Structure 1
Amino acid sequence: MHDAPRRLKSATVSFMTQIHPTAVVDPAARLHESVVVGPYSIIGAQVEIGAGTRIGPHCVIEGHTTIGRDNRIWQFCSLGSDPQDKKYAGEPTRLEIGDGNTLREFCTVSTGTVQDEGVTRIGDDNWIMAYVHVAHDCRIGSHTIMANVTTLAGHVRVGDWAILGGLTGVHQFSRVGAHAMAGFASRIAQDVPPFVMVAGNPCEAHGFNQEGLKRRGFGPERILAIKQMYRALYRKGLTLEAARAEIEALRAEHPEAEADITMMLDFLASAGRGIVR
Protein backbone atom coordinates (compact mmCIF):
# COMPACT_ATOMS: atom_id res chain seq x y z
CA MET A 1 0.00 0.00 0.00
CA HIS A 2 2.86 2.41 0.70
CA ASP A 3 4.20 1.92 -2.83
CA ALA A 4 0.91 2.81 -4.59
CA PRO A 5 1.26 6.62 -4.49
CA ARG A 6 4.73 6.42 -6.02
CA ARG A 7 3.54 4.18 -8.85
CA LEU A 8 0.59 6.43 -9.66
CA LYS A 9 2.77 9.50 -9.70
CA SER A 10 5.38 8.09 -12.06
CA ALA A 11 3.29 5.93 -14.38
CA THR A 12 1.58 7.05 -17.57
CA VAL A 13 -2.17 6.51 -17.19
CA SER A 14 -3.39 4.15 -19.88
CA PHE A 15 -6.76 4.23 -21.64
CA MET A 16 -8.04 1.32 -19.62
CA THR A 17 -7.29 3.03 -16.30
CA GLN A 18 -9.51 5.97 -17.37
CA ILE A 19 -12.57 3.68 -17.36
CA HIS A 20 -13.60 2.42 -13.96
CA PRO A 21 -13.80 -1.38 -13.87
CA THR A 22 -17.48 -1.26 -12.90
CA ALA A 23 -18.42 0.89 -15.90
CA VAL A 24 -19.98 -0.78 -18.94
CA VAL A 25 -18.67 0.66 -22.23
CA ASP A 26 -19.80 -0.97 -25.45
CA PRO A 27 -16.79 -2.03 -27.57
CA ALA A 28 -18.26 -0.13 -30.52
CA ALA A 29 -18.36 3.19 -28.64
CA ARG A 30 -15.73 5.72 -29.76
CA LEU A 31 -14.04 7.38 -26.81
CA HIS A 32 -10.88 9.44 -26.98
CA GLU A 33 -8.14 7.90 -24.87
CA SER A 34 -8.26 10.83 -22.43
CA VAL A 35 -11.97 10.38 -21.60
CA VAL A 36 -12.68 9.44 -17.97
CA VAL A 37 -15.69 7.23 -17.17
CA GLY A 38 -16.74 6.87 -13.55
CA PRO A 39 -18.07 3.87 -11.63
CA TYR A 40 -21.22 2.11 -12.81
CA SER A 41 -21.73 4.34 -15.84
CA ILE A 42 -23.04 2.84 -19.08
CA ILE A 43 -21.91 3.99 -22.55
CA GLY A 44 -23.79 2.69 -25.58
CA ALA A 45 -22.52 1.46 -28.93
CA GLN A 46 -23.38 4.56 -30.97
CA VAL A 47 -21.77 7.07 -28.62
CA GLU A 48 -18.76 9.21 -29.50
CA ILE A 49 -16.98 11.27 -26.82
CA GLY A 50 -14.15 13.75 -27.44
CA ALA A 51 -10.89 14.44 -25.66
CA GLY A 52 -10.81 15.56 -22.06
CA THR A 53 -14.47 14.87 -21.28
CA ARG A 54 -15.16 13.42 -17.84
CA ILE A 55 -18.18 11.21 -17.18
CA GLY A 56 -19.16 10.86 -13.53
CA PRO A 57 -20.52 7.75 -11.80
CA HIS A 58 -23.91 6.23 -12.55
CA CYS A 59 -24.42 8.04 -15.87
CA VAL A 60 -26.19 6.50 -18.86
CA ILE A 61 -25.17 7.76 -22.32
CA GLU A 62 -26.91 6.00 -25.17
CA GLY A 63 -28.45 6.48 -28.61
CA HIS A 64 -26.76 8.24 -31.51
CA THR A 65 -24.94 10.68 -29.23
CA THR A 66 -21.88 12.79 -29.99
CA ILE A 67 -20.18 14.69 -27.15
CA GLY A 68 -17.26 17.03 -27.84
CA ARG A 69 -14.16 18.02 -25.90
CA ASP A 70 -13.64 18.98 -22.27
CA ASN A 71 -17.18 18.48 -21.03
CA ARG A 72 -17.92 17.65 -17.39
CA ILE A 73 -20.90 15.36 -16.95
CA TRP A 74 -21.75 14.76 -13.33
CA GLN A 75 -23.30 11.72 -11.68
CA PHE A 76 -26.70 10.31 -12.58
CA CYS A 77 -27.10 12.13 -15.91
CA SER A 78 -29.10 10.44 -18.68
CA LEU A 79 -28.11 11.53 -22.18
CA GLY A 80 -29.29 10.33 -25.57
CA SER A 81 -32.35 8.43 -24.42
CA ASP A 82 -35.40 8.04 -26.66
CA PRO A 83 -37.55 11.18 -26.90
CA GLN A 84 -40.60 11.39 -24.66
CA ASP A 85 -42.90 11.60 -27.66
CA LYS A 86 -45.58 9.02 -28.39
CA LYS A 87 -44.98 9.43 -32.12
CA TYR A 88 -41.40 8.21 -31.79
CA ALA A 89 -41.04 4.85 -33.56
CA GLY A 90 -37.37 4.06 -33.07
CA GLU A 91 -35.95 6.23 -35.84
CA PRO A 92 -32.15 6.83 -35.61
CA THR A 93 -32.33 10.41 -34.34
CA ARG A 94 -29.41 12.13 -32.64
CA LEU A 95 -28.06 14.15 -29.73
CA GLU A 96 -25.12 16.48 -30.32
CA ILE A 97 -23.27 18.21 -27.46
CA GLY A 98 -20.40 20.60 -28.14
CA ASP A 99 -17.31 21.48 -26.12
CA GLY A 100 -16.69 22.74 -22.61
CA ASN A 101 -20.15 22.17 -21.19
CA THR A 102 -21.02 21.35 -17.59
CA LEU A 103 -24.06 19.17 -16.91
CA ARG A 104 -24.68 18.74 -13.22
CA GLU A 105 -26.46 15.92 -11.38
CA PHE A 106 -29.57 14.22 -12.79
CA CYS A 107 -29.76 16.13 -16.08
CA THR A 108 -31.79 14.42 -18.81
CA VAL A 109 -31.36 15.13 -22.52
CA SER A 110 -33.25 13.25 -25.25
CA THR A 111 -32.49 12.68 -28.92
CA GLY A 112 -34.58 14.38 -31.62
CA THR A 113 -37.57 13.25 -33.66
CA VAL A 114 -38.24 12.98 -37.37
CA GLN A 115 -41.07 15.49 -36.95
CA ASP A 116 -38.29 18.09 -36.66
CA GLU A 117 -34.69 17.88 -37.94
CA GLY A 118 -34.03 14.70 -35.98
CA VAL A 119 -31.43 16.19 -33.64
CA THR A 120 -31.25 17.74 -30.20
CA ARG A 121 -28.27 20.09 -30.04
CA ILE A 122 -26.36 21.79 -27.22
CA GLY A 123 -23.56 24.21 -28.15
CA ASP A 124 -20.41 25.12 -26.23
CA ASP A 125 -19.59 26.40 -22.74
CA ASN A 126 -23.07 25.97 -21.28
CA TRP A 127 -23.60 25.75 -17.52
CA ILE A 128 -26.52 23.35 -16.97
CA MET A 129 -27.38 22.78 -13.33
CA ALA A 130 -28.97 19.82 -11.55
CA TYR A 131 -32.24 18.22 -12.67
CA VAL A 132 -32.47 20.21 -15.93
CA HIS A 133 -34.49 18.49 -18.65
CA VAL A 134 -33.81 19.18 -22.33
CA ALA A 135 -36.48 17.51 -24.43
CA HIS A 136 -36.36 16.27 -28.01
CA ASP A 137 -35.38 18.62 -30.83
CA CYS A 138 -34.28 21.47 -28.57
CA ARG A 139 -31.48 23.76 -29.75
CA ILE A 140 -29.38 25.41 -27.07
CA GLY A 141 -26.74 27.90 -28.17
CA SER A 142 -23.50 28.61 -26.33
CA HIS A 143 -22.58 30.29 -23.02
CA THR A 144 -26.06 29.80 -21.54
CA ILE A 145 -26.93 29.19 -17.89
CA MET A 146 -29.87 27.01 -16.88
CA ALA A 147 -30.42 26.83 -13.15
CA ASN A 148 -31.76 23.85 -11.21
CA VAL A 149 -34.93 22.12 -12.45
CA THR A 150 -35.26 24.22 -15.59
CA THR A 151 -37.42 22.24 -18.03
CA LEU A 152 -37.43 22.68 -21.80
CA ALA A 153 -40.28 21.01 -23.67
CA GLY A 154 -39.82 19.75 -27.22
CA HIS A 155 -38.56 21.97 -30.06
CA VAL A 156 -37.50 24.84 -27.78
CA ARG A 157 -34.77 27.22 -28.96
CA VAL A 158 -32.45 29.01 -26.51
CA GLY A 159 -30.05 31.64 -27.86
CA ASP A 160 -26.46 32.34 -26.88
CA TRP A 161 -25.82 33.85 -23.42
CA ALA A 162 -29.42 33.35 -22.27
CA ILE A 163 -30.03 32.70 -18.56
CA LEU A 164 -32.98 30.69 -17.24
CA GLY A 165 -33.67 30.83 -13.50
CA GLY A 166 -34.40 27.77 -11.39
CA LEU A 167 -37.73 25.99 -11.84
CA THR A 168 -38.38 27.79 -15.13
CA GLY A 169 -40.53 25.91 -17.61
CA VAL A 170 -40.51 26.59 -21.35
CA HIS A 171 -43.50 25.56 -23.50
CA GLN A 172 -42.84 23.49 -26.60
CA PHE A 173 -41.86 25.44 -29.74
CA SER A 174 -41.11 28.56 -27.69
CA ARG A 175 -37.88 30.50 -28.15
CA VAL A 176 -35.66 32.41 -25.75
CA GLY A 177 -33.55 34.99 -27.56
CA ALA A 178 -29.84 35.65 -27.14
CA HIS A 179 -28.86 37.55 -23.97
CA ALA A 180 -32.38 37.18 -22.56
CA MET A 181 -32.94 36.32 -18.91
CA ALA A 182 -35.81 34.60 -17.09
CA GLY A 183 -36.28 34.91 -13.35
CA PHE A 184 -36.96 32.15 -10.84
CA ALA A 185 -39.97 29.90 -11.61
CA SER A 186 -40.90 31.67 -14.82
CA ARG A 187 -43.55 30.13 -17.08
CA ILE A 188 -42.51 30.83 -20.66
CA ALA A 189 -45.28 30.06 -23.14
CA GLN A 190 -44.39 32.67 -25.78
CA ASP A 191 -41.13 33.82 -27.31
CA VAL A 192 -38.79 35.96 -25.21
CA PRO A 193 -37.04 38.50 -27.49
CA PRO A 194 -33.27 38.96 -27.32
CA PHE A 195 -31.93 41.05 -24.42
CA VAL A 196 -35.25 41.06 -22.53
CA MET A 197 -35.68 40.06 -18.87
CA VAL A 198 -38.89 38.23 -17.97
CA ALA A 199 -40.37 36.68 -14.85
CA GLY A 200 -43.60 35.35 -13.43
CA ASN A 201 -46.53 33.08 -14.15
CA PRO A 202 -47.81 34.25 -16.54
CA CYS A 203 -44.52 35.66 -17.77
CA GLU A 204 -44.09 39.42 -18.10
CA ALA A 205 -41.23 41.64 -19.27
CA HIS A 206 -39.20 43.44 -16.60
CA GLY A 207 -36.62 45.50 -18.46
CA PHE A 208 -33.62 44.40 -20.46
CA ASN A 209 -30.46 42.61 -19.39
CA GLN A 210 -28.28 45.71 -19.08
CA GLU A 211 -25.88 44.37 -16.47
CA GLY A 212 -25.28 41.17 -18.40
CA LEU A 213 -24.56 43.14 -21.58
CA LYS A 214 -22.01 45.32 -19.77
CA ARG A 215 -20.24 42.21 -18.50
CA ARG A 216 -20.05 40.89 -22.07
CA GLY A 217 -18.40 44.03 -23.37
CA PHE A 218 -21.34 45.88 -24.91
CA GLY A 219 -20.46 49.56 -25.17
CA PRO A 220 -22.73 52.48 -24.18
CA GLU A 221 -23.99 53.11 -27.72
CA ARG A 222 -25.07 49.50 -28.25
CA ILE A 223 -26.75 49.43 -24.86
CA LEU A 224 -28.59 52.67 -25.67
CA ALA A 225 -29.88 51.16 -28.93
CA ILE A 226 -31.08 48.04 -27.08
CA LYS A 227 -32.79 50.23 -24.49
CA GLN A 228 -34.64 52.05 -27.29
CA MET A 229 -35.67 48.73 -28.83
CA TYR A 230 -37.05 47.65 -25.48
CA ARG A 231 -38.97 50.93 -25.12
CA ALA A 232 -40.51 50.49 -28.57
CA LEU A 233 -41.67 46.97 -27.70
CA TYR A 234 -42.82 47.50 -24.12
CA ARG A 235 -43.14 51.12 -23.08
CA LYS A 236 -44.80 53.09 -25.88
CA GLY A 237 -48.02 51.16 -26.30
CA LEU A 238 -47.24 50.37 -29.94
CA THR A 239 -48.54 47.45 -31.91
CA LEU A 240 -45.93 44.87 -32.74
CA GLU A 241 -45.89 46.03 -36.35
CA ALA A 242 -45.36 49.66 -35.31
CA ALA A 243 -42.65 48.65 -32.83
CA ARG A 244 -40.81 46.76 -35.56
CA ALA A 245 -40.93 49.83 -37.81
CA GLU A 246 -39.50 52.00 -35.02
CA ILE A 247 -36.73 49.48 -34.36
CA GLU A 248 -35.91 49.42 -38.07
CA ALA A 249 -35.50 53.20 -38.01
CA LEU A 250 -32.83 52.88 -35.30
CA ARG A 251 -30.32 51.58 -37.88
CA ALA A 252 -29.56 55.10 -39.07
CA GLU A 253 -29.18 56.43 -35.53
CA HIS A 254 -27.08 53.55 -34.17
CA PRO A 255 -24.89 52.02 -36.91
CA GLU A 256 -22.69 50.37 -34.25
CA ALA A 257 -25.73 48.33 -33.15
CA GLU A 258 -26.55 47.06 -36.64
CA ALA A 259 -26.09 43.40 -35.70
CA ASP A 260 -28.19 43.79 -32.54
CA ILE A 261 -31.02 45.48 -34.43
CA THR A 262 -30.94 42.83 -37.16
CA MET A 263 -31.05 40.05 -34.60
CA MET A 264 -34.07 41.62 -32.89
CA LEU A 265 -35.98 42.20 -36.13
CA ASP A 266 -35.28 38.69 -37.43
CA PHE A 267 -36.46 37.24 -34.12
CA LEU A 268 -39.68 39.27 -34.13
CA ALA A 269 -40.40 38.42 -37.75
CA SER A 270 -40.34 34.70 -36.97
CA ALA A 271 -42.23 34.77 -33.65
CA GLY A 272 -44.85 32.17 -34.49
CA ARG A 273 -46.16 31.94 -30.93
CA GLY A 274 -46.10 35.68 -30.34
CA ILE A 275 -43.82 37.34 -27.82
CA VAL A 276 -44.03 37.90 -24.08
CA ARG A 277 -45.42 41.45 -23.71
Structure 2
Amino acid sequence: MSNIHTTTIIEEGAIIAPDVIIGPFCHIGKGVEIKSGCTLESNIILRGKITIDENVKIFSFATIGCDDSEITVGTKTHIREFTQIGTQDSEDEKNKKITIGANNFIMGYVQILFGVELGEFCIVTNAVRLYENVKCEERVIVGGFSTIEANNKIGTGVMIGGASVVTTDIPPFMLVEGNKATIKGLNVIGLRRRLENKEDIEEIKAIYKKVLGDGTDKILAQEIAETNENDYIVRLASFIASSNLQ
Protein backbone atom coordinates (compact mmCIF):
# COMPACT_ATOMS: atom_id res chain seq x y z
CA MET A 1 0.00 0.00 0.00
CA SER A 2 3.04 2.28 -0.24
CA ASN A 3 1.63 3.86 -3.44
CA ILE A 4 -1.39 5.21 -1.55
CA HIS A 5 -1.06 8.47 0.38
CA THR A 6 -1.75 8.21 4.10
CA THR A 7 -4.47 10.89 3.95
CA THR A 8 -6.58 8.93 1.49
CA ILE A 9 -9.66 7.10 2.82
CA ILE A 10 -10.43 3.68 1.36
CA GLU A 11 -13.64 2.03 2.50
CA GLU A 12 -13.69 -1.67 3.29
CA GLY A 13 -14.69 -3.63 0.19
CA ALA A 14 -12.85 -1.53 -2.36
CA ILE A 15 -10.57 -3.51 -4.68
CA ILE A 16 -7.34 -1.79 -5.66
CA ALA A 17 -4.51 -3.34 -7.69
CA PRO A 18 -1.12 -3.34 -5.95
CA ASP A 19 0.55 -0.93 -8.37
CA VAL A 20 -2.19 1.75 -8.33
CA ILE A 21 -0.97 5.21 -7.29
CA ILE A 22 -3.37 7.34 -5.23
CA GLY A 23 -2.47 10.84 -4.10
CA PRO A 24 -3.56 12.75 -0.98
CA PHE A 25 -7.09 13.45 0.27
CA CYS A 26 -8.93 11.00 -2.00
CA HIS A 27 -12.00 9.01 -0.91
CA ILE A 28 -12.55 5.58 -2.46
CA GLY A 29 -15.93 3.97 -1.78
CA LYS A 30 -16.60 0.33 -0.93
CA GLY A 31 -17.98 -0.58 -4.36
CA VAL A 32 -14.99 0.70 -6.33
CA GLU A 33 -12.55 -1.49 -8.27
CA ILE A 34 -9.37 0.13 -9.60
CA LYS A 35 -7.28 -2.08 -11.89
CA SER A 36 -3.56 -2.18 -12.58
CA GLY A 37 -1.57 0.82 -13.81
CA CYS A 38 -4.04 3.52 -12.72
CA THR A 39 -3.04 6.85 -11.22
CA LEU A 40 -5.27 9.09 -9.13
CA GLU A 41 -3.99 12.52 -8.20
CA SER A 42 -5.33 14.43 -5.19
CA ASN A 43 -8.82 15.20 -3.81
CA ILE A 44 -10.69 12.64 -5.93
CA ILE A 45 -14.00 11.07 -4.84
CA LEU A 46 -15.17 7.71 -6.20
CA ARG A 47 -18.55 6.44 -4.95
CA GLY A 48 -21.02 3.73 -5.93
CA LYS A 49 -20.32 0.69 -8.10
CA ILE A 50 -17.37 1.80 -10.22
CA THR A 51 -14.89 -0.17 -12.32
CA ILE A 52 -11.76 1.67 -13.44
CA ASP A 53 -9.91 -0.36 -16.08
CA GLU A 54 -6.17 -0.56 -16.57
CA ASN A 55 -3.93 2.49 -17.04
CA VAL A 56 -6.57 5.14 -16.41
CA LYS A 57 -5.40 8.51 -15.08
CA ILE A 58 -7.74 10.70 -13.03
CA PHE A 59 -6.65 14.23 -12.22
CA SER A 60 -7.28 16.31 -9.10
CA PHE A 61 -10.75 17.21 -7.83
CA ALA A 62 -12.63 14.86 -10.16
CA THR A 63 -15.77 13.31 -8.67
CA ILE A 64 -17.17 10.08 -10.09
CA GLY A 65 -20.37 8.37 -8.98
CA CYS A 66 -22.86 8.52 -6.15
CA ASP A 67 -24.20 5.88 -3.79
CA ASP A 68 -26.46 4.14 -6.33
CA SER A 69 -24.56 4.72 -9.58
CA GLU A 70 -22.97 2.08 -11.83
CA ILE A 71 -20.03 3.36 -13.86
CA THR A 72 -17.27 1.81 -15.97
CA VAL A 73 -14.23 3.69 -17.25
CA GLY A 74 -12.28 2.06 -20.07
CA THR A 75 -8.56 1.48 -20.26
CA LYS A 76 -6.12 4.34 -20.94
CA THR A 77 -8.80 7.00 -20.49
CA HIS A 78 -7.72 10.34 -19.00
CA ILE A 79 -10.17 12.32 -16.86
CA ARG A 80 -9.00 15.85 -16.16
CA GLU A 81 -9.57 18.22 -13.25
CA PHE A 82 -12.99 19.01 -11.71
CA THR A 83 -14.87 16.62 -13.98
CA GLN A 84 -18.14 15.22 -12.59
CA ILE A 85 -19.45 11.87 -13.80
CA GLY A 86 -22.76 10.53 -12.49
CA THR A 87 -22.91 12.80 -9.46
CA GLN A 88 -26.29 14.44 -10.14
CA ASP A 89 -29.71 13.01 -9.35
CA SER A 90 -31.13 10.96 -12.22
CA GLU A 91 -34.43 11.95 -13.81
CA ASP A 92 -34.69 8.45 -15.29
CA GLU A 93 -34.64 6.05 -12.35
CA LYS A 94 -34.47 3.08 -14.73
CA ASN A 95 -31.00 3.84 -16.07
CA LYS A 96 -28.21 4.99 -13.82
CA LYS A 97 -25.43 3.17 -15.66
CA ILE A 98 -22.68 5.20 -17.33
CA THR A 99 -20.20 3.60 -19.75
CA ILE A 100 -16.97 5.39 -20.67
CA GLY A 101 -15.03 3.51 -23.35
CA ALA A 102 -11.29 3.06 -23.75
CA ASN A 103 -8.73 5.66 -24.84
CA ASN A 104 -10.93 8.70 -24.19
CA PHE A 105 -9.71 12.15 -23.20
CA ILE A 106 -12.19 13.95 -20.94
CA MET A 107 -10.99 17.45 -20.16
CA GLY A 108 -11.65 19.79 -17.24
CA TYR A 109 -15.04 20.78 -15.78
CA VAL A 110 -16.93 18.24 -17.91
CA GLN A 111 -20.29 16.99 -16.57
CA ILE A 112 -21.59 13.57 -17.61
CA LEU A 113 -25.06 12.57 -16.43
CA PHE A 114 -26.68 9.18 -15.97
CA GLY A 115 -27.26 6.85 -18.90
CA VAL A 116 -24.46 8.31 -21.01
CA GLU A 117 -22.43 5.97 -23.23
CA LEU A 118 -19.14 7.25 -24.60
CA GLY A 119 -17.39 5.18 -27.25
CA GLU A 120 -13.65 4.77 -27.71
CA PHE A 121 -11.13 7.44 -28.76
CA CYS A 122 -13.45 10.36 -28.02
CA ILE A 123 -12.28 13.83 -26.99
CA VAL A 124 -14.61 15.80 -24.73
CA THR A 125 -13.09 19.24 -24.21
CA ASN A 126 -13.46 21.75 -21.39
CA ALA A 127 -16.81 22.52 -19.72
CA VAL A 128 -18.89 20.20 -21.92
CA ARG A 129 -22.16 18.84 -20.52
CA LEU A 130 -23.61 15.51 -21.68
CA TYR A 131 -27.18 15.16 -20.49
CA GLU A 132 -28.97 11.93 -19.61
CA ASN A 133 -28.89 8.99 -22.03
CA VAL A 134 -26.64 10.67 -24.61
CA LYS A 135 -24.89 8.05 -26.74
CA CYS A 136 -21.63 8.91 -28.49
CA GLU A 137 -20.10 6.42 -30.87
CA GLU A 138 -16.32 6.19 -31.28
CA ARG A 139 -13.99 9.03 -32.34
CA VAL A 140 -16.39 11.86 -31.49
CA ILE A 141 -14.90 15.28 -30.71
CA VAL A 142 -16.97 17.76 -28.67
CA GLY A 143 -15.78 21.37 -28.59
CA GLY A 144 -15.52 23.34 -25.36
CA PHE A 145 -18.58 24.78 -23.58
CA SER A 146 -20.91 22.64 -25.68
CA THR A 147 -24.04 20.85 -24.48
CA ILE A 148 -25.63 17.70 -25.86
CA GLU A 149 -29.22 17.49 -24.71
CA ALA A 150 -30.79 14.31 -23.33
CA ASN A 151 -31.63 11.20 -25.38
CA ASN A 152 -29.63 12.15 -28.47
CA LYS A 153 -27.14 9.96 -30.32
CA ILE A 154 -23.89 11.19 -31.87
CA GLY A 155 -22.46 9.10 -34.69
CA THR A 156 -18.89 8.00 -35.19
CA GLY A 157 -16.40 10.60 -36.41
CA VAL A 158 -18.60 13.60 -35.60
CA MET A 159 -16.93 16.90 -34.71
CA ILE A 160 -19.01 19.39 -32.68
CA GLY A 161 -17.83 22.99 -32.67
CA GLY A 162 -17.28 24.92 -29.47
CA ALA A 163 -20.20 26.50 -27.56
CA SER A 164 -22.74 24.43 -29.50
CA VAL A 165 -26.08 23.14 -28.21
CA VAL A 166 -27.00 19.81 -29.79
CA THR A 167 -30.73 19.04 -29.71
CA THR A 168 -30.98 16.15 -32.22
CA ASP A 169 -29.16 13.04 -33.32
CA ILE A 170 -26.05 13.76 -35.40
CA PRO A 171 -25.19 11.20 -38.13
CA PRO A 172 -21.67 9.79 -38.50
CA PHE A 173 -18.86 11.85 -40.05
CA MET A 174 -20.64 15.22 -39.71
CA LEU A 175 -19.32 18.63 -38.75
CA VAL A 176 -21.83 20.59 -36.65
CA GLU A 177 -21.88 23.83 -34.70
CA GLY A 178 -24.17 26.54 -33.42
CA ASN A 179 -26.88 27.23 -30.86
CA LYS A 180 -28.83 25.30 -31.74
CA ALA A 181 -26.36 23.13 -33.62
CA THR A 182 -26.86 22.41 -37.30
CA ILE A 183 -24.95 20.26 -39.74
CA LYS A 184 -22.39 22.33 -41.64
CA GLY A 185 -21.05 19.54 -43.80
CA LEU A 186 -18.85 16.49 -43.54
CA ASN A 187 -15.88 16.23 -41.21
CA VAL A 188 -13.61 15.79 -44.22
CA ILE A 189 -10.35 16.16 -42.30
CA GLY A 190 -11.45 13.46 -39.90
CA LEU A 191 -12.41 11.19 -42.80
CA ARG A 192 -9.03 11.69 -44.47
CA ARG A 193 -7.24 10.78 -41.27
CA ARG A 194 -9.39 7.71 -40.75
CA LEU A 195 -9.97 6.25 -44.21
CA GLU A 196 -7.13 5.29 -46.53
CA ASN A 197 -9.39 4.64 -49.52
CA LYS A 198 -10.29 7.97 -51.17
CA GLU A 199 -13.16 6.28 -53.02
CA ASP A 200 -14.84 5.61 -49.66
CA ILE A 201 -14.69 9.32 -48.86
CA GLU A 202 -16.13 10.31 -52.23
CA GLU A 203 -18.96 7.81 -51.82
CA ILE A 204 -19.74 9.17 -48.35
CA LYS A 205 -19.88 12.68 -49.86
CA ALA A 206 -22.31 11.52 -52.54
CA ILE A 207 -24.61 9.78 -50.06
CA TYR A 208 -24.52 12.82 -47.77
CA LYS A 209 -25.79 15.03 -50.60
CA LYS A 210 -28.53 12.55 -51.51
CA VAL A 211 -30.01 11.95 -48.08
CA LEU A 212 -29.19 15.20 -46.25
CA GLY A 213 -28.62 17.79 -48.96
CA ASP A 214 -32.24 19.05 -49.23
CA GLY A 215 -33.60 17.85 -45.91
CA THR A 216 -33.54 14.39 -44.37
CA ASP A 217 -34.70 11.59 -46.67
CA LYS A 218 -35.09 8.63 -44.31
CA ILE A 219 -36.79 6.43 -46.91
CA LEU A 220 -33.87 6.77 -49.33
CA ALA A 221 -31.41 6.29 -46.45
CA GLN A 222 -33.09 2.99 -45.53
CA GLU A 223 -32.97 1.82 -49.16
CA ILE A 224 -29.27 2.63 -49.34
CA ALA A 225 -28.58 0.85 -46.05
CA GLU A 226 -30.28 -2.29 -47.35
CA THR A 227 -28.58 -2.36 -50.76
CA ASN A 228 -25.10 -0.83 -50.39
CA GLU A 229 -22.12 -3.10 -49.66
CA ASN A 230 -19.80 -0.41 -48.24
CA ASP A 231 -19.72 -0.73 -44.46
CA TYR A 232 -19.22 3.02 -43.95
CA ILE A 233 -22.15 3.87 -46.20
CA VAL A 234 -24.37 1.30 -44.48
CA ARG A 235 -23.45 2.73 -41.11
CA LEU A 236 -24.19 6.30 -42.21
CA ALA A 237 -27.44 5.49 -44.02
CA SER A 238 -28.87 3.21 -41.33
CA PHE A 239 -28.11 5.81 -38.66
CA ILE A 240 -30.00 8.48 -40.61
CA ALA A 241 -32.92 6.15 -41.29
CA SER A 242 -33.42 5.44 -37.59
CA SER A 243 -32.52 8.92 -36.25
CA ASN A 244 -34.76 11.60 -34.75
CA LEU A 245 -33.83 14.04 -37.52
CA GLN A 246 -36.75 15.72 -39.28
Fold equivalence (TM over 0.5): yes
Contact 2:112 2:129 in 1 (8 A): yes
1:153 aligns with 131
Q: Map 1:37-186 onto structure 2 (within 5 A).
A: 37-81=22-66, 92-110=68-86, 114-116=93-95, 118-186=96-164
Q: TM-score, normalised by structure 1?
A: 0.82
Q: How many residues are paired up? A: 243
Deviations 1:251-271 (A, max 9, x none): 2xxx4xx21122123322332
SS of alignment partner, residue 267 of structure 1: helix
**Any gaps of 5 or more consecutive residues in structure 2?**
none
Deviation at 1:274, TM superposition (A): 2.2
1:241 aligns with 218
User: Is 1:269 the equivalent of 2:245?
Assistant: no
**In structure 2, do the counterparts of structure 1 residues 249 and 61 end up closer, same or farther at CA, with 3 Å as the change threshold?**
closer
Deviation at 1:114, TM superposition (A): 4.3
What is the identity, as a one-letter code, of the residue corresponding to 2:82? F
What is the identity, as a one-letter code, of the residue corresponding to 1:274? L
SS of alignment partner, residue 61 of structure 2: coil
SS of alignment partner, residue 2 of structure 2: helix
1:32 aligns with 17
SS of alignment partner, residue 179 of structure 1: coil
Looking at structure 2, the residues matched to 79 and 249 of structure 1 have their Cα atoms a distance apart, in angstroms, of 41
Looking at structure 2, the residues matched to 33 and 206 of structure 1 have their Cα atoms a distance apart, in angstroms, of 49
Larger-Rg structure: 1
Deviation at 1:233, TM superposition (A): 3.1
Aligned Cα root-mean-square deviation (Å): 1.9
Looking at structure 2, the residues matched to 249 and 216 of structure 1 have their Cα atoms a distance apart, in angstroms, of 24
Contact 2:46 2:65 in 1 (8 A): yes
Deviation at 1:195, TM superposition (A): 0.4
Identity %: 29
User: Is 1:200 the equivalent of 2:178?
Assistant: yes
Contact 2:31 2:47 in 1 (8 A): yes
Contact 2:218 2:241 in 1 (8 A): no
Deviation at 1:27, TM superposition (A): 2.8
Deviation at 1:248, TM superposition (A): 4.0
Contact 1:232 1:247 in 2 (8 A): no
Looking at structure 2, the residues matched to 149 and 74 of structure 1 have their Cα atoms a distance apart, in angstroms, of 15
Looking at structure 1, the residues matched to 135 and 192 of structure 2 have their Cα atoms a distance apart, in angstroms, of 24
Deviation at 1:35, TM superposition (A): 0.7
Contact 2:211 2:218 in 1 (8 A): no
1:213 aligned to which of 157, 177, 191: 191
User: Is 1:259 the equivalent of 2:231?
Assistant: yes
Deviation at 1:137, TM superposition (A): 0.7
**In structure 2, do the counterparts of structure 1 residues 58 and 243 end up closer, same or farther at CA, with 3 Å as the change threshold?**
same
SS of alignment partner, residue 231 of structure 1: helix
Contact 1:24 1:42 in 2 (8 A): yes
Contact 1:93 1:114 in 2 (8 A): no
Looking at structure 2, the residues matched to 144 and 42 of structure 1 have their Cα atoms a distance apart, in angstroms, of 27
SS of alignment partner, residue 144 of structure 2: coil
Contact 2:222 2:241 in 1 (8 A): no
SS of alignment partner, residue 223 of structure 1: helix
**Any gaps of 5 or more consecutive residues in structure 1?**
1-15, 83-91
